[in-house]
C-alpha cells in the first residue's frame, strides 16, 4: 500500500507542477493577477506531495518491504537502520526522487522568501522552476519509478546496499551535492525570468546573489565531503581522482565561483550583466549535463548505476530543451540589456573579468577531458580513457595565473588603477612569499621539490596579499566597519591558500609503499616504526571479517590503529576499511590488501603530510561563503 500511495502522490505532485506552469503563465500573458497569485498554492501542493512520496519510499525501506524492487536491490534485513534511511538515495531511482524533492524544497523556499519581489518576476521564476520540476517528475515516473513491485521473490532478505556506500560519508555527501546542483536551478530561473521579462533591473543581482551563494555553499560542502570520503573509504588514498562524476560536480562549482565574482562586479559597478546571466544559465546547464553523464550510464565510473538507454535519451532530450531553449532566449533578448560601460582593464573589475575567463576555461578543459572519450566512442574511433595526467597538465597551468590574480585583484581599486604603483606596493609581499617557502622547505624537508615550492609560493602570496588588504582596509575604515561580505572573501581566499598548501605538500612529499607483512613483524616506513601486533576476527551486523592491529611509533609518539577487511554477507564482497593516524600536520594511513598466507597480509601504506589541510581549506571556503550569505545588508528591504 505504501508504495502505491507514494507513486500516487508523485502523480499528484506532477499535476501540481503542471498547474504551476500553465495557470500563472496564462495569468502573465493575459495579465490576470488572480491567476498569477495562485502560484504559491501549487508550489506548496507540489512540495507536500513530493514530500509524501519521499516519506513513502523511506518507510518502504525502514519496513523492509522487499516486494518493492528498488528496496530489494538496495537494502537488506541486516542493514543498520540509519543506512536503510539513507539507502533511499543509494541507487538511481531513489536519487532521482531525492533530486526532485530537493528541487521542490528550493521552489518552496523561493516562494516563501521572495514575497518582497515584484509579482511579475516572482511568478515567472516560480513558473520556470515548476517546468523543471514537471520535467524531472515525468522522468522519474516514466523511466525510473522507485515504487515498482515484483512478486516473484517472496521471502527475500534483500540484496544489500553497495558496501562502498555503507559509510557515514554517505549520509551527507549525496544530499549536500544535490542541494548544490539543484540550487543553481534558482539562479537559472531568475536569469530566464529576467530575460523573459526583457529588462535587467539592477535588483536582479540582489535577488540572485543569496540563492547563488546558498547553492554554491552546498556544492562546496558536497565536494569537500566527497573528497574526504573517497580518501578514507576506498583505500585508494587519493583525495581527487578526476573521475568523470567528480568532474561533473566540479564543473558547476567552477562556473558557480565565476558567477559569484561576476555578481559582485554587477552589484558594485553595474557591469557584466549579460555575462552573469550567461554564467547562471551555464552553471545549471552543467548540473544537468552532470546528471546526464552520471545517470545515463554512458560513463564508466564508481558512481554510475544501471545502464538504461531510455533514461539517457530522456535526459538528453530534456537537456537539449533546457540548454538550447535558454541559450536561444539569451541570444534573442540579451541585446536589450546592453548598458555596458567601458571596462578599464587595470581595475578590480578587470581582474574579476580575467578571473571569470580563467575559471571558465578551466571548466572547459575539464568538460573536454570528460566528454572526449564519449565523443571518440560515439564516432566509432575506438575506446580510450582520459586520466589524471591530462587534467593535471591542463588544469594546473590555468590555476597558476588565477592564483596570482587572486592576490593582485584584492589590491586593485574599482574603476581604474595604476598597475605600477600596486605592483610596487606588493613587491615586499611578493618577496616574502617567495623567500619564506624556500626557507621552510629548506629547514623542514631535505629536498626542495620545485612543484611543492611553486604551490607554497602561490599559497603564501594569496595569504599575505589578502591579509595585507585587510590591514589596509582597517587603516582606512576601521576594523569594525569592514563588511561581513568582505570578511567572507578573506576567509574563503585564505581557505584556497590552505587547500593549495595541502595539495602541494601532500602530493610532492607524500610516500606510498605496498609491503608484505607477517604477524609480529616490524618494519620501517617514512621514519615511523610499524608493528603488526594482532589479528582478530570481526563480526558486524551485515558483515564479517578480520581486524588487525598496527602499532606505529616515532620518536615522540606511539599509537595503535585498527585497519579492517570486511566481507559483506550478501554479495560476498570484500571491503577495505583503512585506518588512519591523524594529526594536523600529517596522516599515516594503513590499508589491508589481501591475505597471502596464514597471518600474512599485503598492506598498503601511505604517509601524507598536510593532507588534512585540503579539506580544512574546503571548510574555510564554505565558511567564507556562509559569511557572505548571511550578510544582513542584503536582506534589508
Partner 1 sequence: MNPARKHKLLKVSFLLAILALATLLIMYALRQNISLFFSPDQLVKGEAPLKRSIRVGGMVVPGSIQRSNKTLQIQFDITDYKNTIHVYYRGVLPDLFREGQGVVAQGRFNRKTQQFKAREILAKHDENYMPPEVKSALSATT
Q: How far is the CB of 102 from partner 1 (least distance, A)?
A: 25
Of the candidate residues 198, 428, 439, 571, the single one contacting partner 1 (CB under 8 A):
571
> Taking CB under 8 A as the rule, does residue 270 contact partner 1?
no
The Cα–Cα gap between 271 and 415 comes to 11
3-state secondary structure (DSSP) of residue 594: strand
How many residues in the shown chain lie near partner 1 by CB under 8 A?
45
Chain positions 157 to 176 lying near partner 1, rule: CB under 8 A, are 162, 164
Of the candidate residues 22, 138, 386, 436, the single one contacting partner 1 (CB under 8 A):
386
Of the candidate residues 22, 62, 316, 364, the single one contacting partner 1 (CB under 8 A):
364
Of the candidate residues 33, 142, 300, 339, the single one contacting partner 1 (CB under 8 A):
300
Chain positions 526 to 555 lying near partner 1, rule: CB under 8 A, are none
Q: Which region, judged by CB under 8 A, interacts with partner 1, from 44-52, 123-131, 489-497, 573-581?
A: 573-581
User: Hunting for cell 589481501 — which residue is that?
Assistant: 594
> Taking CB under 8 A as the rule, does residue 245 contact partner 1?
no
> Taking CB under 8 A as the rule, does residue 345 contact partner 1?
yes
Q: Which region, judged by CB under 8 A, interacts with partner 1, from 6-14, 263-271, 366-374, 482-490?
A: 366-374
What binding mask, one character per residue, do residues 480-519 give for partner 1 by CB under 8 A, x or -?
----------------------------------xxx---
Q: How far is the CB of 605 from partner 1 (least distance, A)?
A: 10
Q: Which region, judged by CB under 8 A, interacts with partner 1, from 255-263, 438-446, 533-541, 574-582?
A: 574-582
Residue from 598, 542, 614 nearest 572 by CA: 542
> Taking CB under 8 A as the rule, does residue 378 contact partner 1?
no
> Taking CB under 8 A as the rule, does residue 334 contact partner 1?
no
State the CB neighbour count (10 A cutoff) for residue 209: 23
User: Hunting for cell 515516473 — which residue is that?
Assistant: 141
Residue from 637, 618, 622, 634 nearest 227 by CA: 618
Nearer to partner 1, 369 or 609 (CB): 369
What binding mask, one character per residue, do residues 463-482 give for partner 1 by CB under 8 A, x or -?
--------------------
Q: Which region, judged by CB under 8 A, interacts with partner 1, from 195-203, 245-253, 411-419, 586-594?
A: 586-594
Angle, CA of 148, 150 and 152, to the nearest 5°? 170
- Cβ atoms of 53 and 7 within 8 Å: the answer is yes
> Taking CB under 8 A as the rule, does residue 451 contact partner 1?
no
- Cβ atoms of 186 and 133 within 8 Å: the answer is no
Nearer to partner 1, 396 or 434 (CB): 396
- Cβ atoms of 565 and 576 within 8 Å: the answer is yes
Of the candidate residues 81, 380, 389, 524, the single one contacting partner 1 (CB under 8 A):
389
> Residue 39 phi/psi, 5° resolution?
-50, -45
Residue 607 bridge partners (DSSP)? 511, 588
Task: For residue 293, give every residue at least 6 positions away whose Cβ sits within 8 Å of its Cβ, in sequence order, or none.
Answer: 244, 245, 248, 299, 370, 371
Q: How far is the CB of 514 from partner 1 (least distance, A)?
A: 4
Nearer to partner 1, 337 or 394 (CB): 394
3-state secondary structure (DSSP) of residue 445: coil
520: burial class by Cβ within 10 Å (0-12, 13-18, 19+)? exposed
User: Hunting for cell 592491529 — which residue is that?
Assistant: 549
Task: For residue 360, give every residue at least 6 positions away whose Cβ sits within 8 Å of its Cβ, in sequence order, or none.
Answer: 254, 255, 258, 279, 282
Q: How far is the CB of 374 from partner 1 (least distance, A)?
A: 11
- Cβ atoms of 560 and 549 within 8 Å: the answer is yes
The Cα–Cα gap between 192 and 108 comes to 18
The Cα–Cα gap between 409 and 496 comes to 15
Q: How far is the CB of 21 from partner 1 (least distance, A)?
A: 37
> Taking CB under 8 A as the rule, does residue 398 contact partner 1?
yes
The Cα–Cα gap between 600 and 603 comes to 9
State the CB neighbour count (10 A cutoff) for residue 633: 9
Nearer to partner 1, 394 or 630 (CB): 394
Nearer to partner 1, 267 or 577 (CB): 577
Q: Where does this chain bind partner 1 (CB under 8 A)? A: 162, 164, 234-236, 300, 302, 307, 345, 357, 361, 364-365, 368-369, 372-373, 382-387, 389-390, 393-394, 397-398, 514-516, 571-576, 591, 593-594, 596, 602-604
Amino acid at each position: 500500500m505504501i508504495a502505491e500511495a507514494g507513486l500516487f502522490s508523485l502523480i499528484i505532485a506532477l499535476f501540481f507542477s503542471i498547474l504551476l506552469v500553465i495557470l500563472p503563465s496564462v495569468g502573465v500573458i493575459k495579465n490576470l493577477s488572480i491567476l498569477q497569485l495562485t502560484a504559491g498554492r501549487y508550489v506548496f501542493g507540489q512540495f507536500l506531495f513530493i514530500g509524501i512520496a519521499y516519506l513513502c519510499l523511506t518507510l518502504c525501506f525502514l519496513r523492509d518491504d522487499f516486494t518493492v524492487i528498488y528496496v530489494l536491490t538496495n537494502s537488506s534485513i541486516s542493514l543498520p537502520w540509519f543506512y536503510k534511511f539513507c539507502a533511499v538515495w543509494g541507487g538511481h531511482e531513489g536519487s532521482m526522487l531525492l533530486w526532485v524533492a530537493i528541487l521542490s524544497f528550493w521552489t518552496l523556499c523561493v516562494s516563501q522568501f521572495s514575497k518582497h519581489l515584484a509579482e511579475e518576476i516572482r511568478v515567472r521564476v516560480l513558473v520556470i522552476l515548476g517546468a523543471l520540476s514537471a520535467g524531472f517528475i515525468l522522468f522519474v515516473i516514466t523511466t525510473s519509478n522507485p515504487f515498482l513491485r515484483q512478486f516473484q521473490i517472496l521471502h527475500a532478505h534483500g540484496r544489500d546496499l553497495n558496501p562502498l556506500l555503507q559509510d557515514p560519508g554517505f549520509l551527507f555527501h549525496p544530499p549536500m551535492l544535490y542541494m548544490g546542483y539543484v540550487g543553481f536551478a534558482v539562479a537559472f530561473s531568475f536569469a530566464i525570468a529576467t530575460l523573459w521579462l526583457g529588462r535587467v533591473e539592477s535588483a536582479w543581482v540582489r535577488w540572485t546573489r543569496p540563492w547563488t551563494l546558498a547553492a554554491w555553499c552546498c556544492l562546496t560542502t558536497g565536494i569537500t565531503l566527497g573528497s574526504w570520503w573517497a580518501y578514507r573509504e576506498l583505500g585508494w588514498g587519493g583525495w581527487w581522482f578526476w573521475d568523470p562524476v567528480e568532474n561533473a560536480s566540479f564543473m558547476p562549482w567552477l562556473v558557480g565561483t565565476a558567477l559569484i565574482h561576476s555578481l559582485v562586479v554587477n552589484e558594485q559597478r553595474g557591469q557584466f550583466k549579460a555575462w552573469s546571466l550567461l554564467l547562471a544559465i551555464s552553471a545549471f546547464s552543467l548540473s544537468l549535463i552532470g546528471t546526464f553523464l552520471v545517470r545515463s550510464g554512458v560513463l564508466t565510473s564508481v558512481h554510475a548505476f544501471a545502464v538504461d538507454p531510455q533514461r539517457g535519451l530522456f535526459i538528453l532530450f530534456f537537456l537539449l530543451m533546457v540548454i538550447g531553449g535558454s541559450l536561444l532566449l539569451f541570444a534573442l533578448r540579451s541585446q536589450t540589456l546592453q548598458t555596458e560601460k567601458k571596462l578599464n582593464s587595470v581595475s578590480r573589475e578587470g581582474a574579476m573579468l580575467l578571473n571569470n575567463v580563467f575559471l571558465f576555461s578551466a571548466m572547459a578543459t575539464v568538460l573536454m577531458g570528460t566528454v572526449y572519450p564519449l565523443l571518440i566512442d560515439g564516432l566509432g574511433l575506438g575506446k580510450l580513457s582520459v586520466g589524471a595526467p591530462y587534467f593535471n597538465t591542463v588544469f594546473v597551468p590555468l590555476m597558476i595565473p588565477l592564483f596570482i590574480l587572486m592576490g593582485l585583484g584584492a589590491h586593485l581599486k574599482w574603476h581604474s588603477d595604476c598597475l605600477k604603483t600596486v605592483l610596487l606596493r606588493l613587491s615586499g609581499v611578493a618577496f616574502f612569499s617567495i623567500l619564506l617557502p624556500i626557507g621552510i622547505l629548506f629547514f623542514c624537508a631535505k629536498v626542495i621539490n620545485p612543484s611543492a615550492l611553486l604551490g607554497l609560493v602561490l599559497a603564501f602570496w594569496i595569504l599575505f596579499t589578502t591579509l595585507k588588504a585587510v590591514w589596509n582596509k582597517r587603516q582606512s575604515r576601521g576594523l569594525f566597519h569592514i563588511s561581513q561580505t568582505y570578511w567572507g572573501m578573506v576567509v574563503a581566499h585564505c581557505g584556497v591558500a590552505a587547500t593549495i598548501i595541502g595539495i602541494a605538500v601532500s602530493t610532492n612529499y607524500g610516500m606510498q609503499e605496498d609491503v608484505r607483512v607477517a604477524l609480529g613483524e616490524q618494519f620501517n616506513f617514512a621514519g615511523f616504526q610499524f608493528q603488526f601486533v594482532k589479528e582478530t576476527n570481526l563480526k558486524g551486523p551485515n558483515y564479517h571479517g578480520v581486524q588487525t592491529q598496527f602499532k606505529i611509533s616515532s620518536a615522540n609518539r606511539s599509537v595503535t590503529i585498527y585497519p579492517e577487511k570486511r566481507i559483506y554477507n550478501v554479495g560476498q564482497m570484500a571491503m577495505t576499511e583503512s585506518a588512519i593516524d591523524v594529526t594536523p600536520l600529517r596522516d599515516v594511513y594503513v590499508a589491508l590488501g589481501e591475505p597471502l598466507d596464514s597471518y600474512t597480509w599485503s598492506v598498503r601504506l601511505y604517509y601524507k603530510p598536510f593532507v588534512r589541510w585540503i579539506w580544512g581549506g574546503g571548510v574555510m571556503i564554505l565558511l567564507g561563503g556562509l559569511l557572505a550569505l548571511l550578510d544582513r545588508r542584503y536582506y534589508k528591504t
